[in-house]
Amino acid sequence: MKLEKILDKLGSIEKNSFIKIIDNIISKNQKNGKEIEKILSSTNKELKSVDNQNISTIFSLTEKEFSKHIKCEFEEISTQLDILIDILIRDGNCIVKQDWFSRLYENEIKKLKAKIKVLNIEFENEKSELSIERKRDYKIYKSCLSIAYNNDKANNRDAKVSSDELSIILTLSKQLGLSQEEIKLINYTILPINILNIQDVINSLKNIGVIFFSKKDNTIYVADEMVRLLRRIREKEVAEKFYRRTLKLLREPIINQIAKNHNIDRKLNYSQK
């Protein structure tokens, strides 16, 4: 559903967090300032007084800055933002009831824990199906992340990854050719992975402007424009259904090689890979 249509369905309180973020971006950044100023000039320069069509237009004008805002939120690793966003950007999950989202989230955590258990075994197994080179890449990334996350403990501070450390870790992951799924999997061999309270999860996503939540309908909304932005951030710009169609055009030996390179279980059938 388009952003404008979602805004039409919601009250001012439900839109408030999103509006505040856009307002903050406008106040700090003059990019596309003239176009935004022209829209605001007809409403006494208050964004909350702008109609929903123009709010949608202003969002499109501030999309790059909004993307930077979301990327900064990844520094708060306890939010499990990567896990949550990967759920939201899947086909069919942009309008979802709270109880169904809760089930999707819990299932995602369970599946991730199972994959982590397998990966930890692979690390220790000398006869692992992982190639020597890939296992080396994984161990390099994992060691660097572990140091970045745990080094604050030596100074009696809470474990965290600073923005500078995160920048280095991201650069390292690109140089090692790790996919977003591989990064997420290795990350949670180091980071705590517990099921968070679903209302806290929804509030955190709402407060950073990623979702809208209607208490009346008990429904989460993710605008089409936001899904595209989040997919770019997660380097998953092509929707999964189209990605699968493209992969099915490849011959099975090629699929098997890709699966091997990215630690995908070779016992899965062609379609599952």
- The CA distance from 88 to 239, in Å, is 12
Cα angle 10-16-19, degrees, rounded to a multiple of 5: 105
Q: What does 194-259 look like in DSSP terms, one character per residue? A: -PPPHHHHHHHHHHTTS-EEETTTTEEE--HHHHHHHHHHTT--S-HHHHHHHHTTS-HHHHHHHH
Cα angle 86-194-17, degrees, rounded to a multiple of 5: 55
Contact 151, 232 (CB under 8 A): no
- What is the band of 122 on the pLDDT scale with cuts at 50, 70, 90? confident
Q: Is the pLDDT of residue 242 over 60?
A: no
pLDDT of residue 2: 96
- The CA distance from 7 to 10, in Å, is 5
What would the two tokens of residue 270 be?
Answer: 């062609």
Global pTM value: 0.83
Taking residues 174-188, what's their average pLDDT?
92
Closest residue by Cα to residue 145 from 128, 130, 159: 159
- The CA distance from 176 to 143, in Å, is 13
Per residue in 85-107, pLDDT (tens digit) is 999 999 889 999 999 999 999 99
pLDDT > 70 fraction of the chain, expressed in percent and rounded: 86
- The CA distance from 111 to 195, in Å, is 12
